[in-house]
Amino acid sequence: MPVINLQPYSSPSYFLILLLGLLPIMIGLYHGKRFRVYETIFSLAFLVLTFGGDHWQQGVALIIYIVYQFILTICYVHYRKQKNQTNIFVGAVLLAILPLTVVKFTPLLANGKITLGFLGISYLTFKTVQVIMEVRDGTIKDFDWKLYLHFLLFFPTISSGPIDRYRRFKKDYETIPDRAGYLEDLEKAVHYLFLGFFYKFILGYLFGTLWLPPLQHWALMQRHAFGGLGLSWALLGYMYDYSMYLFFDFAGYSLFAIAISYFMGIKTPPNFNKPFAAGNIKEFWNRWHMTLSFWFRDFIFMRFTFWFMKKRWLKNRIRISQIAYLVNFLIMGFWHGLTWYYIVYGIFHACAIIINDIWLRYKKKHQDQIPSNKFTKGFSVFLTFNVVCFSFLIFSGILDKLWFM
């Protein structure tokens, strides 16, 4: 029997099958109806396509994971109706993160021989943790388990985001747009879809498939350059090319996920907003992988500072924010994976944002002495761009190959 497996958004046939399957949903929404049963079957079919065939181990892992998170969340919701102890809440969050932690640690322990987990586990964890936190806060009260499953298993975003929020998703799912609104959504969806094609399959191909391998080869050939640090022009070229590739590949992918969501009447939030036009690092994180950085802002950074200030452990607000940035970006680094370069990437961005804050405060104090014009604005964009590209050089892992392999 031929094994069927389709990787999301990877081939023309995937898009063709996807659009055909979407057609009934679109016709339904156009006439103001959501065919929930069909939508569920259709979603399940695509999950089987993604996690079936020779990826069946991933499929099994997904099912176990979902059952686990489902039971955990139901239990916590049930508990929260009666009591609200902090240690139970912390325990629930830790249990929600547990599977991801195990998946990230096992390759280290088993020398990479065993890989548990499945495509998208990192992204699903954001959703489950977020729901538990909001249940604790009381902002999610009427917990609908069917909708929760739908939210977790919403297949357009299951593998790599964008990371949606439960309450936002619920609103879109339950309110069917009127015809004019839906027609507008469709127009946006088609636009996103084709922009995604342009990003991922043309620009991503140029930067990633055509230019990246020779640049990498060339850079690795010069590992002895610059006193053994391997710093070379090729490495510089690799840095810029990799940054472009990372952006266009990931932004393209996000656009596909958003486009497919829009076809289904769900307005999945955007993930990128011209990140390389940012004038400082803080602004960069408001434009780059937005759903991730907003998630971190809302569920790590703000909660951490809130808790820190409420307990009055430190008076100095600046110091608190600096610690919070470090915690925030370290966790983000660990989330990417347990390698030195992801963690250094996190620390690098924390430092960059702390320095940026110091500068912003200094600038505010000395407003009258520091010039602000077209040139300084252009320079700040240029500087930010280069700092960011350098962080992606760390992120790419090429330094690991250059120095330690």
Which residues of the shown chain bind other proteins in the complex (CB under 8 A)? Answer: 2-3, 5, 133-134, 136-139, 179-180, 183, 186-187, 190, 194, 282, 297-299, 301-303, 305-306, 309-310, 317, 320-321, 324
| Amino acid at the residue 82 | Q
Q: Closest separation between CB of residue 108 and other proteins, Å? A: 26
Alpha-carbon span 240 to 235, nearest angstrom:
9
Q: Closest separation between CB of residue 305 and other proteins, Å? A: 5
Which of 10, 9, 41 has the alpha carbon at shortest distance from 24?
41
Q: Which is nearer to other proteins, 33 or 317 (CB)?
A: 317
Q: Closest separation between CB of residue 160 and other proteins, Å? A: 22
Alpha-carbon span 356 to 157, nearest angstrom:
33
Alpha-carbon span 140 to 133, nearest angstrom:
9
Q: Which is nearer to other proteins, 137 or 400 (CB)?
A: 137
Q: Which is nearer to other proteins, 34 or 282 (CB)?
A: 282
Q: Closest separation between CB of residue 105 and other proteins, Å? A: 29
Q: Is 349 a catalytic residue?
A: no
Alpha-carbon span 124 to 121, nearest angstrom:
5
* Residue that is written with structure tokens 């960011």 in the block: 388
What token pair was written down for 25? 């949903």
Contacts made by residues 370-376, CB under 8 angstroms, sequence distance 24+: none
What token pair was written down for 63? 């099912």
Rounded to a whole number of angstroms, the distance between the first and last alpha carbons of the chain is 41
What token pair was written down for 143? 């917990």
Alpha-carbon span 125 to 335, nearest angstrom:
10
Which of 76, 79, 175 has the alpha carbon at shortest distance from 128?
76
User: How many Cβ atoms are within 10 Å of 368's Cβ, its own excluded?
Assistant: 5
Q: Closest separation between CB of residue 187 and other proteins, Å? A: 5
Q: Closest separation between CB of residue 291 and other proteins, Å? A: 14
Q: Which is nearer to other proteins, 101 or 209 (CB)?
A: 209
- Residue 354 CB partners (closer than 8 Å, separation 6+): 322, 325, 326
Q: Which is nearer to other proteins, 287 or 297 (CB)?
A: 297
Q: Closest separation between CB of residue 309 and other proteins, Å? A: 6
Active site residue: 191, 289, 336, 366, which one? 336
Which of 196, 262, 174 has the alpha carbon at shortest distance from 9?
196
Contact 342, 336 (CB under 8 A): yes
Q: What is the DSSP string of 365-390?
A: HTTTTS--SHHHHHHHHHHHHHHHHH
Alpha-carbon span 268 to 238, nearest angstrom:
32
Residues designated as active site: 336
